[in-house]
Every structure is written in structure tokens, then in C-alpha cells.
Structure 1
Amino acid sequence: MKNLVKKTIVGAVASWLLISPISTYGVANLSQFSSEEGEDLHVELIGRYTSGAEIGQGGTEIVAYDKENQHVFSINGDQNAVEILDLSQLKDGKQEIPLLKQITLADLGVPASDVTSVAIHPDGQFFAVSAPSVNKVDPGFVVFLSLEGDYLSSVQVGSLPDMITFTPDGAKLLVANEGEPNDEYTVNPEGSISVIDVKEGVEGLTNASVSTIRFTDDVIDSDVRKVREDHTYAENLEPEYIVIDDKSQFAYVALQENNAIAIIDISNQKVLTVKSLGYKDYSITENQLDASNKDDEINIQNWPVLSMYQPDGLASYTVDSKTYILSANEGDSQNYKGFSEEERVNDLKENYELNADLFEGYTQEMLDKMILDGLFEED
């Protein structure tokens, strides 16, 4: 557990606060959390890196840990850079984690607008970062660097590369190309998965080592959500995150806005299936939520609401040769200048009919009464 904490706590300035069950507002000196007696969880702050970014600017957004050199590679969204941090001094009891080097977009040598993800090769030979194009709907880039942060090579991938990960055998790097539309929604690139062959090394790597896996309708279940019905499934699907099984055989891809997961056959470079994650029924006792952001009150209860999971991050583990996927269900919506799917319930009431067949916790009579009692009103 201690090693896990070392790798995780430095990732964000305040990430260690998030697991505490007590209020942390104004508790600047809180440095450890222990669970109830007899339980195993104990978390202690052992180091901190302060990026200097304002709250909400993503000063330390995504990290990868180099266990051999005890370095952390951290994405600094505020500076559009990768930062190399030194954890080796923690063994001497020093809590302030020093910055060894900052690598900016200019240092990467590609016409990019951002740095979105970082991953270290399983053998610790080099690391990679993903970088969307200046115009996010254009093809993006993956840049390979030495562990010291020196440029090795770069290749072009799909639109808006948002996350990268190496296969456990180190032979390939997979890229989740999210393919978000432009703000006017006049251009909506296809989401895709890029596969980069790195088994022969990455110095001098060219686009010839890059393959693209695209989505076709025949492998997509009919209940997978389309955000825009007038666009193709390939345009609708937006890969967000990838995990790979221990044998480097299959990849599991979160399609966040579509509330779905895709399964990829890595060797044959094809999508096997895309499956919907279904809906969570907030009418049953164990599922409750606070439905209003207007009443300035805490009001957690059951509602006639079906919620999509829409995972962002994924993790996987294997037991008895069966792979399990864990998902961090962030939820999301498309909200652009040219199109938005965000609506207030009050604006839907003339075009919405509650059907008790969809909710385990309500009869039709109960739903009809809730409507008469003002369910759709602003307050």
C-alpha cells in the first residue's frame, strides 16, 4: 500500500484530501488519514509538488511513474508542458518534490495545442506524450522522448489524441483519438484508435509504423447511444481511455459520451464489439441523488431518472483468467456553440412522458401524481 501511495499521491496537489471522510476546507495541515480500528487503510502525505497553477488550470493533471529512477512525468495543462519530477529525495524525509525539467510544446517540435497524456515504456527505455493539433479536428501527434526529456521522434495519429498506453509486452503503443467536433459542430471527425509499432525502438520512427483502427456499424450494438442521430456512428464515437489485458491481446476502450465500451483485438487490429453500459435507475432505494442545482439545499432522494455511466478512466485486473474492468463514471455532455444536449427539466415538460415500465421504483399512478405535484417545475 505504501508504494501505491507514493506513486499516486504526487499526481495532484490535493489528491490525498479526496479520500478523507471529513471536511477538508481550511485544513491546510492535514497530512494523514487512518480508517477505523481493525481496517487496513492508512494514507499519509509524504511529498508534494506545487506547480504554481491556479485552481482549475490543470497544473498536475496526469502522471506516470519511472520506478527505476524514481521520477514522475507529469502533464502540466497550465503550461502546455511535460514536467519531470524527482521523488528520490523523499527517502531523506524531504516533502517538497523538486522539478528537474519542464518540456514545452515548442520543445516537442510539433504544431500542437496541448499535451493530453503521458506513458512510460514497460521496460523503462523511453516515454511518450500525446498532443492534439493546433486545430483539434486535424490529426494529432505522439512524441517519443528519452527519460531525460530529449526528443527522439514523433508520428501523426488521429484527431484529438486524448490518452496513450503501452501494451504490457512493450511492442505497441495505443492511442485513444477522441475526435471531438469543432465548436460550431460543422466538422465532426471520426473517433479512432491508433496503434504504433515500437518493438524495434522509437528513434527515427515514422508514420509508416502507425495503423488506425476505425469503427464500423456491423460491430456496434443497436442500443449504443448516438449523440447526433444525423451523424455516423464513427463520427459519434469518442474514445476516451484504454486499458489492455495482461497478455497484450485485447484492449478495452471507454467511449464516454456514448456510454459504451469497445473491445479491440490488438493483433488483428480490429474492433470486435461495442456495447452499451446501460442505465442506472434512480427510482430504487439504493440509488439516490440531489436533482436540483437551483434550490441551494441538500435533497438526496429517489427520482424518476435513468442515468448513463459515461466512464472516463478505466482500470483492469485478471482473476482465474478472467479480465475485469473498473470504470470511473464521470458523466459528460456535449455542449458546443453549434449544438448542446444540455436542457433544464422545466424546458422538457411539454415533450416528455414518464413511463413506469422504465422505472422499478414507481407505478404509473405514482409518476402521474408527481407530475401533478410539480415535478417539472424549476424549484
Structure 2
Amino acid sequence: MSVAGPTTALAQAVPDLGFTGTTLIVAENAGSVTLPLSIRNANATASTVQAIVMPLATATAGADFTFASPQTLPFAPGSPTTVTLTLPITDDATAEPAEYFSVRLQNPTNATLTASTTKFLVFIKDNDTQAPVRAGNLTLNRLGSHQNGPTFSGSTQINSAEIVAHDPSTQRLYVANSIGGKLDILNFATPGAITPVASISMVPYGNLNSVAVRNGLVACAVEGTTPQDLGKIVFFDQSGTFLKQVTTGALPDMVTFSPDGRYVITANEGEPNATYTNDPVGSVTVVDVSGGIAGVTQASATTMDFSSYNVQAAALRTAGIRIYGGPAAGPASSVARDLEPEYATISADSRTAYVGLQENNALATLDLATRQFTALRPIGYQDHSQPGFSFDASDQAADILLANWPVRGRPAGLYLLRATDGATSRLVMR
């Protein structure tokens, strides 16, 4: 005689559900869009979940699509299954950027929500914006090109052409081959047949960042072997013969001549090392070359930094200038150390330099006669939620989805436009 032991009921797994996928792109005239959901471990009891429209949207429920929020979606009991949420799309006659809305799942019954599958983004592509008609009044013809040696040796880059400066007086091009550690000089007299003239090793001087030329005088911005060391401007003649060099601030990132040829200016970035144990001040160096290169000495060079603004750190931050550097565990950098001049351009009358402080989203104004900074201004932000400032925020879709988003962006750079009639210059952000 045998006695049966106690039986143990097997616990059923709790169903889990969510969207299948994360994004759909639908044409405005598609009529509807269908969002798929799936459930795993469905059991003998029905499951439900609510779907709601999230506040982050540029498409409007009732105008661009139809959705009564919230909606309850049922999953029948039994085997694993899939349900869909179908939403009508309105085809309006308004030319507009791509619009979007998001649907989120909440409040499941007899189920849990699968992590990372609770939100679904729908883009509605406009079909009313007309592409501009091709005028066909611009023709570009490739005249020629020049490659200053092989770009790679295996997987290692060995040559580059980062900055190109043209001298009309000699019809030569001066190319900053920073990776190759050379200044390449090219004959540009026949643009369709560019030929090499010389290749000057910059190894004895440091690392070449930028080059400018005027009337046969070549100026190179050169950083030290350690970027936080003081840099220099190295002068050559039109054929690459060394003439002079003067010391600048740390990490001269670009060099330019003033329109009247009197000044050579470098924007010295003063970039810190990775750990902020060495953070030089950002600065601008102005060299007076009005008496000719023969008379240039170190005394001809003046380097200005932003130390006078150190006491204004709080006010500058409040105004919108980004001053944020410093080690992870330690005091914040001073204004002078945190400001990093990236680029400089000079007014048509050669009296004022405008210095872009890219990382700080700011612009400095320098009086070249007094060698004094006269202003430090925030550039401000572009509001990408406003008409005309849409952008494609996705790198996952093959489509170009220009849409408005509730974010602010910093301009990528500054230009100084100089009128050909000598009128007042104006700054333009991009």
C-alpha cells in the first residue's frame, strides 16, 4: 500500500508586456499609424495596460492625430499574443517641419511592464513643404587638387592638410600639415596644376596648429611639445626660410594678420591637461610687425589674458558665460584659466579684434591700440522649439527628420563679415 505525498501547484509566471520597437515614421497622408505591443508568459487571466500621450510633443492630439488618452488595451488569456494600437493621422495642408508625439504605457493589471519598452515615439513626416526649384545658375568646376603625401601608413595617419593660407602676392599656398609635422608650400600660379615648392619640418619648433601669410611673410602658430607650455609664432619667408620667432601664450590655436598688415595675432587656447593639474590661462598675443620683420623682437609681442575678470566669475556665469572647469574633486578654475580663445578675427579698420571663446560660449573684444580687453559677452543660445530652428535629433533613422525640440543649443562658431565698401563689420553666429 502506498500513500501519495502532498502535491505542489506550479506558480505561474507573471505576464510582462510592452511595445515591440521604439520608433515609427509615418507619412502625413498615411491615414493611420499602428503601434505593436506584445505580451510574454500570458496565463489564464486577462491582462490590460493603459496607453497615454506624453507631454513632450509637437504633434497635437485632435489636430494632427486622433487619440483619446488614456486608452486601455486588453490582452486575452492564454498563449502569448500581440495587440496593436492604431491611431488615425490627419493630413493637413500646412507646410511644417516633421512633427512627433510619444505614447507611454502605464498601470498594467495582471502583468508587469518590460523595462525599456514602455515608450514609443512617432514621427509624422510633412507632405506639404515643397523643395526649392533648381535654378541651375551655379556651376562648380574642379580645377585641380594636391595631396601632400600618403595619408596613412597602415592604420596610422602620417599627413594632413588642416589649414590652407593663400598669398596673392606670390600665388603660393601654405598648408599646415600638423600630423606630418611640416609646413607644405605649394605653387598656386596655375590652380589646375598645383605643384609642391618646399616642405619645411616644424619639428625643431613644436607642433604646428595654424598658418597665415601676407605679402610673402608667413606666420605659423606653434604649440609646445607639452600643450600647456608657452607656444610661439614662427616667421618664415615665402620660400620657407626661417626668419624670427616670438613666444606666445599656451597653445596658440590660430594665427591671423590684421587687414592693414600691422599686427599678427594668435588666439592661445590655454587648454588644461586631462586631470587639471596643469591649467594655463587662455590668452591672446599681438605682435607689431609694422616696422618689418627685421625689427621684430620679443618686445614686439604682447600677451593679454583675462585675469582682470577673475573677480567677476559669479556675474559672468549669471550673464550666461560658461565658466565650469576644474578638477573633479577640487576648486573651480579661475575665469582666466577657464576662458579658452579658439579663434580671432579683426575689424576692417584693424582697430578691434573679436575673440571667440568657444567652450565658454562667449565673445571677447580686444582694443588693439591699448592692448586691453574691452568687453566679455555671452553669445546666448538658439531655442530649437521655435519656428525656423528645427534640427534632426536622431542618428537611428535613415530619414531626415527636421523637427522642433524643447532644447537650447549653442552656436557652433562666429564669423565677422566685412563689407567690401568699408562699412561697419557685423558678427554672425552659426
Q: TM-score, normalised by structure 1?
A: 0.69
Preserved contact between residue 140 and residue 159 of structure 1 (Cα < 8 Å): yes
State the 1:297 CA deviation. Answer: 6.2
Q: Match for 2:383 among 281, 303, 309?
A: 281
1:101 is the counterpart of 2:198: yes
Aligned to 1:142: 233
For 1:289-304, list aligned pairs within 5 A: 289-293=391-395, 298-304=400-406
Aligned to 2:345: 243
Structure 1: segments with no counterpart, 5+ residues:
1-34, 330-379
Residues 289 and 38 (structure 1), Cα distance of their counterparts in 2 relative to 1, 3 Å cut = closer
Aligned to 2:263: 172
Partner SS for 1:117: strand
State the 1:96 CA deviation. Answer: 4.1
In 1, distance between residues paired with 2:424 and 2:324?
32
Structure 2: segments with no counterpart, 5+ residues:
1-132, 327-331
Partner SS for 1:213: strand
Aligned to 1:160: 251
Aligned to 1:255: 357
For 1:300-379, list aligned pairs within 5 A: 300-311=402-413, 314-318=415-419, 321-327=423-429, 329=430
Preserved contact between residue 155 and residue 210 of structure 1 (Cα < 8 Å): yes
State the 1:321 CA deviation. Answer: 3.6
State the 1:279 CA deviation. Answer: 0.7
Partner SS for 1:234: helix
Aligned to 1:85: 186
1:118 is the counterpart of 2:186: no
Q: How many residues align?
A: 282
Preserved contact between residue 227 and residue 257 of structure 1 (Cα < 8 Å): no
In 1, distance between residues paired with 2:151 and 2:233?
27
State the 1:139 CA deviation. Answer: 0.3
Question: Which of the two has higher C-alpha Rg?
Answer: 2
Aligned to 2:371: 269
In 2, distance between residues paired with 1:280 and 1:58?
37
Aligned to 1:61: 162
Between Structure 1 and Structure 2, which shows a larger proportion of strand residues?
Answer: 2
Q: Match for 1:209 among 297, 300, 325?
A: 300
In 2, distance between residues paired with 1:168 and 1:320?
11
In 2, distance between residues paired with 1:310 and 1:247?
26
Residues 96 and 78 (structure 1), Cα distance of their counterparts in 2 relative to 1, 3 Å cut = farther
In 2, distance between residues paired with 1:38 and 1:310?
30
Aligned to 1:72: 173
1:198 is the counterpart of 2:289: yes
CA RMSD of aligned residues (A): 2.4
State the 1:61 CA deviation. Answer: 1.2
Letter in 2 for 1:65: H
Preserved contact between residue 190 and residue 237 of structure 1 (Cα < 8 Å): yes
Preserved contact between residue 244 and residue 316 of structure 1 (Cα < 8 Å): no
**What is the CA deviation profile of residues 127-165 of structure 1, one whole-angstrom value per residue up to 9, with x for unaligned ones?**
110100000001001100000110001111000001111
Preserved contact between residue 243 and residue 316 of structure 1 (Cα < 8 Å): no
Letter in 1 for 2:135: E
**What is the CA deviation profile of residues 261-304 of structure 1, one whole-angstrom value per residue up to 9, with x for unaligned ones?**
11111000011111111111111232222324456765432222
In 1, distance between residues paired with 2:158 and 2:355?
27
Aligned to 1:366: none
Between Structure 1 and Structure 2, which shows a larger proportion of helix residues?
Answer: 1
Q: TM-score, normalised by structure 2?
A: 0.61
Partner SS for 1:43: coil
Preserved contact between residue 415 and residue 427 of structure 2 (Cα < 8 Å): yes
1:44 is the counterpart of 2:135: no
**What is the CA deviation profile of residues 185-218 of structure 1, one whole-angstrom value per residue up to 9, with x for unaligned ones?**
2221111111111112223633221111221325
Aligned-residue identity in percent: 32
Residues 137 and 166 (structure 1), Cα distance of their counterparts in 2 relative to 1, 3 Å cut = same
State the 1:259 CA deviation. Answer: 1.0
Segments ≥4 residues shifted beyond 4 Å:
55-58, 218-221, 294-298
In 1, distance between residues paired with 2:190 and 2:368?
39
In 2, distance between residues paired with 1:298 and 1:167?
41
Letter in 2 for 1:279: Y
Partner SS for 2:299: helix
Aligned to 2:91: none
